[in-house]
């Protein structure tokens, strides 16, 4: 089971990619041509990765993320090195050197490293390497983690390493891998943890899927552990199966009731490398860089415009793990990082029961509630998630089944996760409102002047709508990358335009039995249908616009002398108001971004 996308292990290569991406971003910021193909030709060995990463930059910018992602988990941030007497907030920054040197601990094993004897390498990632070691002074086995590239690691890697040590050291919970010591030896930062004899959840899933009740028990246990971290103001931000260590279970280790004590494996959460303090301080993602593992990453981590990481972000990641436990695959996985991020931001997961019909409906609902795109639609805490999982295990009705009529109506009128794309359409919708009103006013004026030629109205609406559609779409494409959801919206709108033109064709074919504009109330019904579809795709507020258009068809039929003008007025309002709202939203976000850069 392929769980992650490969990244380069060469820090010099990663640094060069980061420099090239920065150069492209700076060119675009200055209004110059950002030609990725030119750089790809100059660096043919990096061409494919450069194109994919630059595409990810454009995707992030299209969703409102202010800065491009880096080629790995590295994030630009001042990085402290350990010095005696300095707290984490007071440590100075250090200079990045471009000539990578292997960490001092790399070499033949076993070997001595400070107070430890390194026995074997048991883990390796993009940033760190983990060894099984024996602490000589205490004669115990531990896991010791250090940066792969030693003193030549980037500032961002050093900051992440220290974050992990600090975060884990603050957490004393039976289902969180404890940190024993943080120190430095041979010029190499390290920290030691409990050595967990067993496997990882990722490795276990490679062997066989878990039964539904086992999956629920395990996730309830993990959710309780993450809730403890949240109570201590720590967000994990990189929960995934490979960061869940499994030790052979011999009952509860804390003397307290534990929902996972009947499992064959005892789960322990590890790797707080992306952990973030909630109570203050700048996040490593403050620059807009995309961090984490895409398949388990919530939308607000993938794009700055979707909000900031919160406890609901870890709820999402736990839901993604539960989804994989139930189906054998993560909710979103594609051939490239860019495609996976697009799925995370833009698509809904396949319902677990479609992939595994044996999944209980209640457990499926719990999982899908965790994976909601909007954080406020998820569980308010991982404790609430654990409670529902425990209710499922006890045969009780989980809270996800409940919901009052007001809850249903409130959810119906909410914005969907696609709503932010309307910021790209705000100004265009305001111009569209003017166009539709002028077209209807001209049509009504012609009717008052005694024009009774069906062909005249057919030509007016055919040319007017077609020309405006071409102008509208051309202007939108000039505004930046067109997202998949925008193409869907455009198809719905195009269907409405085509149906409107065909109404005039039908009138022409039925002449003289049908007078001009006799079928015009159908225009309001067509517009209502278009707004209904938009309500389901973008925001429930469009149900109000749809209702207004449906009701407009009645006075149009009763008062044909002003019917088409009334249609134009109501249509203009229904487009102008949301256009103005989303245009203001876009302008405020752009101003905030400029002020942030200047600051």
Catalytic (active-site) positions = 238
Rounded-to-integer distance, Cα 169 and Cα 477, Å? 50
Rounded-to-integer distance, Cα 88 and Cα 166, Å? 9
Instruction: Give how far the C-alpha of residue 497 lies from the chain's centroid of Cα atoms, to the nearest Å.
Output: 33
Enumerate residues 6+ apart whose C-beta is below 8 A from 15.
Answer: 96, 98, 154
CA-atom Rg of the chain in angstroms = 29
Instruction: Report strand pairing: 116-124 vs 234-235.
Output: unpaired
Write down how long the chain is: 599
Q: What is the biggest distance separating any 2 CA atoms in the chain, rounded to whole angstroms?
A: 103
Closest to 363 in 3D by CA, of 389, 327, 383, 384: 389
Enumerate residues 6+ apart whose C-beta is below 8 A from 472.
Answer: 428, 431, 432
Rounded-to-integer distance, Cα 52 and Cα 338, Å? 7
Q: Which parts of 134-208 fold into alpha helices (H)?
A: 155-169, 201-207
Strands (DSSP E) found in 258-329? 265-269, 276-277
Report helix angle 454-478 to 426-448, nearest 10.
170
DSSP code, position 9 = S
Closest to 582 in 3D by CA, of 64, 10, 60, 20: 64
The answer to whether 595 touches 435, Cβ cutoff 8 Å, is no
Rounded-to-integer distance, Cα 330 and Cα 37, Å? 33
CB half-sphere exposure, 31, CA atoms < 13 A: 0
CA 488 → CA 56, 58, 348, 484, 485, distances in Å?
21, 20, 15, 7, 5
Question: To the nearest 10°, the Cα dihedral for 585, 589, 590, 591?
Answer: 100
Strand partners, 198: 247
The answer to whether 14 touches 71, Cβ cutoff 8 Å, is yes
Instruction: Give how far the C-alpha of residue 535 lies from the chain's centroid of Cα atoms, to the nearest Å.
Output: 22
The answer to whether 108 touches 151, Cβ cutoff 8 Å, is no
Give the dihedral sign, CA 95/101/102/104: negative
Residue 179, classed as helix, strand or coil, is strand
- Whose tokens are 């276990």? That residue is 204
Rounded-to-integer distance, Cα 535 and Cα 238, Å? 33
Enumerate residues 6+ apart whose C-beta is below 8 A from 183.
Answer: 82, 114, 189, 190, 191
Rounded-to-integer distance, Cα 294 and Cα 235, Å? 17
């Amino acid at each position: 089971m392929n769980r992650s996308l490969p990244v380069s292990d060469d820090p010099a290569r990663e640094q060069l990619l980061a420099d090239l991406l920065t150069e492209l971003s700076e060119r675009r910021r200055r209004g110059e041509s950002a030609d990725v193909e030119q750089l790809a030709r100059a660096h043919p060995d990096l061409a494919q990765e450069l194109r994919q990463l630059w595409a990810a930059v454009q995707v992030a910018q299209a969703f409102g993320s202010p800065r491009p992602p880096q080629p790995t988990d590295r994030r630009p941030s001042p990085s402290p090195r350990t010095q005696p007497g300095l707290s984490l907030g007071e440590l100075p920054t250090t200079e990045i050197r471009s000539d990578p040197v292997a960490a001092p601990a790399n070499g033949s094993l076993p070997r001595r490293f400070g107070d430890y004897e390194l026995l074997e390498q048991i883990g390796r990632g993009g940033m760190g390497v983990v060894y099984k070691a024996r602490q000589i002074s205490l004669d115990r086995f531990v896991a010791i983690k250090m940066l792969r590239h030693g003193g030549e690691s980037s500032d961002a890697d050093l900051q992440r390493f220290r974050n992990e040590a600090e975060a884990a050291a603050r957490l004393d919970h039976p289902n969180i891998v404890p940190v024993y010591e943080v120190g430095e030896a041979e010029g190499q930062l390290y920290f030691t943890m409990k050595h967990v004899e067993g496997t990882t959840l990722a490795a276990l899933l490679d062997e066989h899927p878990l039964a539904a009740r086992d999956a629920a028990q395990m996730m309830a246990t993990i959710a309780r552990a993450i809730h403890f971290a949240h109570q201590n103001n720590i967000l994990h931000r990189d929960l995934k199966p490979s960061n869940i260590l499994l030790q052979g279970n011999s009952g509860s280790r804390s003397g307290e009731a534990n929902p996972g004590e009947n499992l064959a494996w005892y789960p322990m959460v590890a790797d707080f490398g992306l952990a973030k303090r909630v109570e203050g301080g700048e996040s490593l993602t403050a620059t807009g860089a995309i961090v984490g593992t895409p398949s388990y990453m919530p939308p607000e981590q993938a794009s700055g415009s979707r909000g900031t990481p919160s406890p609901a972000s870890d709820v999402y990641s736990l839901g993604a793990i539960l989804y994989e436990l139930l189906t054998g695959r993560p909710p979103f996985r594609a051939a490239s990082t860019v495609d996976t991020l697009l799925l995370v931001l833009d698509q809904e997961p396949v319902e677990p029961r479609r992939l595994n019909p044996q999944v209980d409906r209640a457990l499926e609902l719990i999982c899908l509630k965790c994976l909601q795109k909007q954080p406020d639609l998820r569980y308010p805490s991982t404790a609430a998630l654990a409670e529902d999982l425990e209710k499922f295990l006890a045969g009780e009705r989980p809270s996800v089944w409940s919901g009052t009529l007001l809850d249903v109506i409130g959810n119906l009128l909410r914005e969907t996760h696609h709503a932010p794309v309307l910021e790209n359409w705000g100004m265009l919708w305001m111009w569209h409102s003017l166009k539709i009103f002028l077209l209807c006013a001209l049509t009504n004026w012609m009717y008052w002047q005694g024009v009774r030629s069906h062909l005249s109205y057919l030509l007016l609406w055919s040319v007017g709508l077609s020309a405006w559609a071409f102008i509208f779409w051309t202007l939108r494409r000039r505004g930046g990358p067109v997202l998949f959801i925008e193409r869907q919206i455009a198809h719905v709108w195009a269907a409405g335009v085509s149906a409107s033109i065909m109404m005039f064709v039908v009138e022409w074919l039925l002449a003289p039995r049908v007078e001009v504009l006799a079928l015009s109330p159908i225009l309001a019904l067509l517009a209502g249908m278009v707004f209904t579809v938009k309500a389901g795709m973008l925001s429930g507020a469009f149900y109000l616009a749809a209702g207004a258009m449906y009701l407009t068809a009645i006075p149009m039929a009763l008062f044909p002398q002003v019917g088409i003008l009334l249609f134009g007025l109501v249509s203009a309002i229904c487009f102008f108001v949301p256009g103005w709202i989303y245009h203001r939203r876009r302008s405020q976000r752009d101003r905030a971004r400029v002020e942030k850069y200047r600051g």
